[in-house]
Structure 1
Amino acid sequence: MGLPAIGSYPMPDRAALPRSCASWAIDPGRAALLVHDMQNHFVGELPTDRSPVVELVENITALRALATALGIPVVFTAEPAAQPPGQRGLAADVWGPGIGDSADAAAIIPPLTPRPGERVLANVRQNAFLRSHLGRLLRSEGRDQLIVCGVHAHLGVLLTAADAFMNDIQPFVVADAVADLSAEEHAMALRWAARSAVVCTTETLLRELLLGGGSRDVRKDA
C-alpha cells in the first residue's frame, strides 16, 4: 500500500512527554547515536518546510554535531533501493515494494549526508538490529547505550529501541528528534518507548551529554 499522505503536526514538548520507567544517565563514553532512515524517500513524504520536519532535521543536526565533538560514534541506517522480493519479505505485503530503483530516493537527506568516519548500515527491516551488524558494531566500540532518532517513531524507532533493551543496550529515544505518520502515532510510540527506554528531549540530552552523564535522573527533565 505504500506510505499514506502525511500532514503537518507540532513536535511534542517536554511537558507532554510520558514518564520513563528507566532512569539511566547518558554517558558520552558509552553512547552511540543512531540516525534511523532519514532518507529522501521517507522524509519527502512529510511536509518538509513545516513541523515536525523542520525541528526533526534541526535536532538531529544538533545531536550529530555534539556526538562528533565528543567522539560518540554516529551510525546511519538506510533502506536499500531495488530490494528483490525475497529480501523485502512480508514488508512488501504491508508497505509495497519499498524505495524502488532510485538511488536519489534511497540517499540520506542532504543536510545529514554521512561524513567520513560515520557508518551507514543497510536496513532491510524497520528494526535496525535485524539482519545487520549494528549489535556487533556497538560491542566493538564498547558502547552499551544507544541514542535513537529519525523516522518513523512507531515503526523503526520503537522497534529498534525495544531490541536494544532486549540486548542489554540502554536506549534513549529523543522525542523531538523523531517523526511519524501523525501526531497520534508519534505520541503512541513515545508512550510505548517509555516502558523500556529513556524518552527525553533534544535539549535535555544535549545538556546531559555536555555534563558527561553523571548521576542525574534524566526522567526529571524529560
Structure 2
Amino acid sequence: MGIPSIQPYFMPRKDELPNNRMSWTLDPERAVLLIHDMQQYFLDYYDNQASPVVELLTNIRQVRARCTARGIPVVYTMQPSEQTPEERGLLLEFWGPGLTARPHRHPIVNELAPGDTDTVLTKWRYSAFQRTDLLGLMRRWGRDQLIICGVYAHIGCMLTAGEAFMNDVQPFFVADATSDFTRNWHEMAMTYVAQRCGVVLSARDVLDALGEGRAPFDLERLRSEVAELLELSAAEIQDGDSLLDLGLDSIRLMTLVERLRNAGIEISFVDLAERATLGDWWELLSPRLPQAHRPRSQGEEMHGVRG
C-alpha cells in the first residue's frame, strides 16, 4: 500500500515518443494548461536532484511561462491535505491515507507556485475532471484543448487525458513534462494516449506550436529566452545586469544552451557560465549565428547593447 520509492530514470527524448494516431495542432486560442498534482508530497518519492525530476520541473516551468505569455489559462490541481475516509473512498484501500499523513507537504513545489491569475482546483480522484469544475471552466472560456503536465503519468495524467477525450476536449500529453513510478509505466501512459485518446508531444513541440523559434535569433530574442527561463518580463533584464543575481542557475543555463544549439548556434555550457551578463553573451553569440539568423545590420545591433 502507498506510493513506492521511485528510482531515477531518463526522461523520454523526442525521438523516443510513440507515433500519434491524430494530427491535432495546438491552438493558443483553444488551449488550457493543466499542471497536475505537482505537490511536494508526490515529489518526495523521487530523488529531486536526478532525472526525471530535474527535467520535469524545467520543462513544466518553460511550458507554463510560454502559456502565460500567450494568454493561455493555467489550471493547477491539488489533492487536499485533509480527507475523511468517506472523501478518500477507494483511494484509501489502494494508497493509504495519502496527504493526510503528511499535510505539511501539501503545497505545490516552490519552482511552480501558482501565480495570482492561475486557477487552483481541489482534486479528489485520479482524473482532474472528477468532482471539479475543470470542464465547466473550459466551456465558459470557450476552450477545447488541454495541455497536460505533472505526476503521475500513468495514473492521474493518463486518466485525465482519457476523460478529456470523452468530453470532446483534445488532450495534449507532454511526455517530458510528466513523470511516473518507472520508465515502463511512463512509456505505457504515452503509448495509450497516443493510440487511444490524444496527442503526445515533447515540451519543445509545445513551445514551437505556441510560437517558439519563428523569429530570427537576435538580441531581443535572446533577452526573451532568458526572461522566460527566469520567469521575468523581458523589460526587467538590462544588458549589463548580472544574470546570477536575477536567479540564473545551472539547470536554466543548460536549458538555454540546448535552445541555442537547436537554433544552430554552437555554444557550450562553460562558454556562457564564464560570462555574467546578457551583453557579454550577445557579444559571444552574435559571430556564431547561422546566416539565416543574422540581423541585417549586425554591427548596429552590437553597438546598441544597453549597459
Q: 8 Å contact 1:173–1:197 — kept in the other structure?
A: yes
SS in 1 for 2:158: helix
1:21 alignment counterpart: 21
The answer to which structure has the higher helix fraction is: 2
2:39 alignment counterpart: 39
In the TM superposition, residue 39 of structure 1 has moved relative to its aligned partner by 0.2
2:175 alignment counterpart: 175
1:149 alignment counterpart: 149
CA, structure 1 residues 104+155, in 2 after alignment: closer, same or farther (shift >3 Å)?
same
Which one-letter code corresponds to 2:37 in the other structure?
D
SS in 1 for 2:120: strand
Where does 1:1-222 land on structure 2 (aligned, <5 Å)? 1-100=1-100, 102-195=102-195, 196-210=197-211
Alpha-carbon distance in 1 for matches of 2:4, 2:66: 34
SS in 2 for 1:34: strand
Alpha-carbon distance in 1 for matches of 2:11, 2:193: 16
Could you report, residue by residue, the CA deviation over 1:153-193 in whole angstroms, capped at 9, with x for unpaired residues?
00000000000000000000000000000001001110101
Could you report, residue by residue, the CA deviation over 1:104-124 in whole angstroms, capped at 9, with x for unpaired residues?
311100001111010000010
In the TM superposition, residue 5 of structure 1 has moved relative to its aligned partner by 1.1
SS in 2 for 1:178: strand
In the TM superposition, residue 152 of structure 1 has moved relative to its aligned partner by 0.2
Q: 8 Å contact 1:9–1:182 — kept in the other structure?
A: yes
TM-score by length of 2: 0.68
Alpha-carbon distance in 2 for matches of 1:58, 1:100: 28
Alpha-carbon distance in 1 for matches of 2:70, 2:209: 12
Q: 8 Å contact 2:190–2:200 — kept in the other structure?
A: yes
Percent sequence identity is 46
Which one-letter code corresponds to 1:190 in the other structure?
M
Which one-letter code corresponds to 1:187 in the other structure?
E
In the TM superposition, residue 25 of structure 1 has moved relative to its aligned partner by 0.5
RMSD: 0.9
In the TM superposition, residue 210 of structure 1 has moved relative to its aligned partner by 0.7
TM-score by length of 1: 0.93
Which one-letter code corresponds to 1:71 in the other structure?
G
Structure 2 residue runs without a partner (length 5+) = 213-307
SS in 1 for 2:100: coil
Q: Which has the higher contact order (CA 8 A, sep 6+)?
A: 1
Equivalent pairs, count: 211
In the TM superposition, residue 101 of structure 1 has moved relative to its aligned partner by 5.6
Q: 8 Å contact 2:41–2:102 — kept in the other structure?
A: no
Could you report, residue by residue, the CA deviation over 1:91-135 in whole angstroms, capped at 9, with x for unpaired residues?
110011110164431110000111101000001001000011000
Alpha-carbon distance in 1 for matches of 2:104, 2:70: 31
Structure 1 residue runs without a partner (length 5+) = 212-222
SS in 2 for 1:29: coil
Q: 8 Å contact 2:77–2:120 — kept in the other structure?
A: yes
Q: 8 Å contact 2:128–2:134 — kept in the other structure?
A: yes
SS in 1 for 2:210: helix
Q: 8 Å contact 2:123–2:132 — kept in the other structure?
A: yes
Alpha-carbon distance in 1 for matches of 2:205, 2:175: 11
Instruction: Please tell me whether Structure 1 or Structure 2 has the larger radius of gyration of its CA atoms.
Output: 2
Which one-letter code corresponds to 2:204 in the other structure?
E
Q: 8 Å contact 1:154–1:185 — kept in the other structure?
A: yes
1:216 alignment counterpart: none
